[in-house]
């Protein structure tokens, strides 16, 4: 099978990287240095923010290839460290991969798609609200709050969907049609292309992550977490616009997304590896049927966790202030304005 051979080949180093990351993570948690690492990350990120602001300001003065390279390098670094802290997107993605399963390729695709979508949403917000409708930047930053609420809601819905799916799987009687458990059985046996991935649940190759490959929930995951831009990104784009350097801002945000994607895919790969390890253990210890049921319960647990996270986030809404407490609410837009009565707009 060419496909399997390819996957094995490509997977080797990725597995290595993932294992390494997982090991580092475990080691850090064990040694209690997780906290000091997060402090270190915050200070690196802070330095990158300063450097980034300066780089864009400089670029508006004397654009040389060197300043461009500096800008893009800094943006990438900022993206990497920006994403290194905990965030709800990463929590959702890793929980999804851990409990629903997914191959390395899917983990990477999800990470990159979600990160890029975040950048693209920020760019779209600024293009539509600031360039199109003539809002000031701070109002556009305020709108992030609404997009964010939408994102939390979608996370909760995604969780609910995953729960439903898991329950349906758990209630489905274990199929007895294929008694010989050869991995090829399902492929020989897939007359219905629309249910090619579904009908084998609880059956033969539950160890194959592809089994759970359901691109609809994957897509929903990408949208739910990718739709939420960082208000910092909107701020950057707004400032770049004011400097007459919008393209520079767009380039910076996109490169930043790539940096973010790198960090996120590290986490995603670690989840895939952890899941694979658990599945293999399960396969060794229990019967096919029992293992299938356990995995079903894991999907249910993951769905519940994601739903709970979405609900708690949309209730508390604490993830990021819409504006600096110093300045209070952005000015309201009289007639054409959206309602601006956000519960945590000003804080001051």
Partner 1 sequence: MPSHARFWLAWLTLLLLIPGLAQAHPHGWIDMRVRLILDDQGRLEGLHQSWRMDPFYSLIILEELGLAEGEGGLEAGLDQLGGEIRQNLAPHDYFTELQVGGEKLALGEVTEYTVMERGGRVEFIFLLPLETPLALSERTLYYKVFDPTYYLEVVHEAEGNTPLDDALIVNGELSCSTRIVPADPDPERVMEAAMLDITDEAEPGLGRYFAETGEVTCD
Out of 236, 248, 261, 269, the residue judged to bind partner 1 by CB under 8 A: 236
Q: Which residue do the tokens 């945590």 mark? A: 344
For residue 3, the number of C-alpha atoms closer than 13 Å in the C-beta half-sphere is: 3
Residue from the set 12, 132, 183, 328 that interacts with partner 1 by CB under 8 A? 328
Please give the Cα distance from 126 to 199 (Å, whole number): 45
Q: How far is the CB of 230 from partner 1 (least distance, A)?
A: 8
x-marked contacts with partner 1 along 244-283 as a string, rule CB under 8 A:
------------------------------x---x-----
The string over 50-81, giving b where at least 16 C-beta atoms fall within 10 Å of a residue's C-beta and e elsewhere, is: ebbeebbeebeeeeeeebeebbbebbbbbbbb
Residue 143 near residue 129 (C-beta atoms within 8 A): yes
3-state secondary structure of 86: coil
Q: Could you tell me which of 274, 232, 271, 246 has the C-alpha nearest to residue 81?
A: 232
What is the rounded distance in angstroms from the CA atom of residue 122 to the CA atom of residue 224? 15
Here the tokens at position 52 are 């980034």
The nearer residue to partner 1, 26 or 164, going by C-beta atoms, is: 26
Is residue 346 near partner 1 by the rule CB under 8 A?
yes
- Is 338 a binding residue for partner 1 by CB under 8 A? The answer is no
| Residue with Cβ nearer partner 1 (82 or 199) | 82
Write down the least CB distance from residue 149 to partner 1, Å.
14
Instruction: Please say whether the beta carbons of 102 and 218 come within 8 A.
Output: yes
**Interface residue with partner 1, options 1, 27, 54, 174 (CB under 8 A):** 54
SS3 assignment, position 112: helix
Q: Which of 24, 325, 337, 338 binds partner 1 (CB under 8 A)?
A: 325
Kindly tell me which residue out of 14, 147, 242, 254 binds partner 1, with binding defined by CB under 8 A.
242
Contact residue for partner 1 among 64, 181, 182, 316 (CB under 8 A): 316
Beta carbon of residue 45, minimum distance to partner 1 (angstroms, whole number): 5
Q: Is 206 a residue that touches partner 1 (CB under 8 A)?
A: no
- Pull the structure tokens for residue 219: 């897509």
Residue number, 86 or 132, with CB nearest to partner 1: 86
Residues 6+ apart with CB under 8 A from 17: 266, 269
Closest separation in Å from C-beta 88 to partner 1: 5
Largest CA distance in the chain: 72
Cβ pair 291, 299 in contact under 8 A:
no
Q: Does 46 bind partner 1 (CB under 8 A)?
A: yes
Neighbours of 111 (CB within 10 A): 27
Count of residues that bind partner 1 according to CB under 8 A: 58
**Least distance in angstroms from the C-beta of 273 to partner 1:** 13
CA distances from 218 to 11, 108, 153 (A): 20, 12, 16
- Any idea what DSSP says for residue 212? G
- Is residue 195 within the footprint of partner 1 (CB under 8 A)? no
Question: Is residue 235 involved in binding partner 1 (CB under 8 A)?
Answer: yes
Chain contacts with partner 1 (rule: CB under 8 A) = 29, 35-36, 38-39, 42-43, 45-46, 49-50, 53-54, 56-57, 82, 85-88, 91, 95, 98, 136-138, 231-232, 235-236, 238-239, 242-243, 274, 278, 301, 305, 308-309, 312-313, 316, 318-321, 323-328, 330-331, 346-348
């Amino acid at each position: 099978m060419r496909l399997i051979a390819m996957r094995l080949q490509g997977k080797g180093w990725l597995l290595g990287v993932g294992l390494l990351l997982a090991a580092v993570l475990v080691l850090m948690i064990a040694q209690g240095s997780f906290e000091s690492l997060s402090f270190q990350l915050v200070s690196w990120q802070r330095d990158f923010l300063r450097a980034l602001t300066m780089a864009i300001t400089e670029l508006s003065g004397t654009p040389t290839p060197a300043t461009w390279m500096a800008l893009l390098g800094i943006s990438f670094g900022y993206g990497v460290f920006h994403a290194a802290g905990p965030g709800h997107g990463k929590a959702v993605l890793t929980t999804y991969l851990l409990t629903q399963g997914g191959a390395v390729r899917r983990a990477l695709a999800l990470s990159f798609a979600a990160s890029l979508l975040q950048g693209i949403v920020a760019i779209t917000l600024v293009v539509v609200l600031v360039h199109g409708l003539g809002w000031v930047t701070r109002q556009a930053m305020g709108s992030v709050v609404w997009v964010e609420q939408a994102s939390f809601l979608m996370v909760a819905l995604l969780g609910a969907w995953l729960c439903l799916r898991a329950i349906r799987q758990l209630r489905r009687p274990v199929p007895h049609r294929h008694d010989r458990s050869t991995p090829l059985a399902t492929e020989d046996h897939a007359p219905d292309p629309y249910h090619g991935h579904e009908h084998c649940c609880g059956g033969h190759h539950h160890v194959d992550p592809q089994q759970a490959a359901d691109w609809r929930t994957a897509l929903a995951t990408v949208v739910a977490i990718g739709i939420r831009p960082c208000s910092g990104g909107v701020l950057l784009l707004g400032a770049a616009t004011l400097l007459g350097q919008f393209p520079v801002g767009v380039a910076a945000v996109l490169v930043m997304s790539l940096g973010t994607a790198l960090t996120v895919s590290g986490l995603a790969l670690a989840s895939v590896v952890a899941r694979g390890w658990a599945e293999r253990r399960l396969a060794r210890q229990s019967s096919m049927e029992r293992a299938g049921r356990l995995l079903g319960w894991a999907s249910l647990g993951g769905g519940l966790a994601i739903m709970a996270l979405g609900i708690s986030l949309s209730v508390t809404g604490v993830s990021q202030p819409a504006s600096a407490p110093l300045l209070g609410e952005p000015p309201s837009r009289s007639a054409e304005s959206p309602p601006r009565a956000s519960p945590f707009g000003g804080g001051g």
